[in-house]
Amino acid sequence: MPGSWELVRRKSVLCAFLHVDVTSVAWSLGLRNLLPPEMAMMPIAGMPYDHGRNVACMKALECGADYLFFLDSDVVPPRDAVLRLMAHDKPLISGMYCRRSPPHAVPVMIKNGTWFTAFRPGEVVEVDLVGAGCLLIRRDLLEKMPPQSPDRGRHWFDWRVDCAGIRPQGDCLSEDFTFCKHVRERMGIPILVDTSVHCKHVGLAQSTLGRFEPCETTPVT
């Protein structure tokens, strides 16, 4: 006879990883080590960032996933990152990873127009914008979100960096930032970051909070 835990349907997760370059050993080991092992995996490559992320959103809805987890192919999360983010049961919550380009080693999250660093490591913080490199989105947010740019065929994510002169300068953002802006302003949903889910941002070098150094090949566990 099954135990009570077996009678409750496990939450399903589609893990979509945006692949833009050659992956590192550190990232590959981190992905292999990631829990829960029953996650469905969906690589995204060969298409614009916003289009790839929108395809992943459609696939998550089609396959009945309870959550969509975006993991970029240069972000190495803690082994239990997905479980810890799911435990918050929020429409949207991100892990924390830091910039590999100037300004180095500051978290990829913005509040009040600047890179946000005024937090105690380990706490959950609310910001205005966050990158989608380690981002968990609950299904109901995808279902309820009004289209961002139906004229451009962009429902959830819309790359606008090159839209200067077409849109207000404050809207000329990357696809993950426009997503956050739309969710926060149109839906009133807070953009949350669990800073205890501290990822490495890896390439030939790796970025962590306050440090930018040669890449290690061991995964975060």
- The answer to whether 187 touches 75, Cβ cutoff 8 Å, is no
**Cis, peptide link before residue 103, omega less than 30° from 0:** yes
Residue 9's pLDDT is what?
A: 60
Q: Going from the N-terminus, what domains does the chain have, and what CATH number goes with each?
A: 4-156+190-214 (3.90.550.40)
Would you state the structure tokens that stand for residue 176, as one six-digit string? Answer: 């993950």
CA angle 46, 151, 148 (to 5 degrees): 80
Give the residue among 13, 11, 1, 18 at the shortest CA–CA distance from 175.
18
- For the stretch 81-96, pLDDT in tens is 999 999 999 999 999 9
Q: How far is Cα 55 from Cα 70, in angstroms, rounded to an integer?
A: 12
- For the stretch 79-137, pLDDT in tens is 999 999 999 999 999 999 999 999 999 999 999 999 999 999 999 999 999 999 999 99
Q: What H or E segment, with its residue span, contains residue 212? A: strand 211-214
Average pLDDT, the chain: 90
Decide if pLDDT at 152 tops 90.
no
The values of phi and psi at residue 177, to 5°, are -70, -40
Q: Supply the pTM of this predicted model.
A: 0.90
What distances in angstroms separate CA 111 from CA 7, 114, 115, 215, one per listed residue? 42, 6, 6, 28
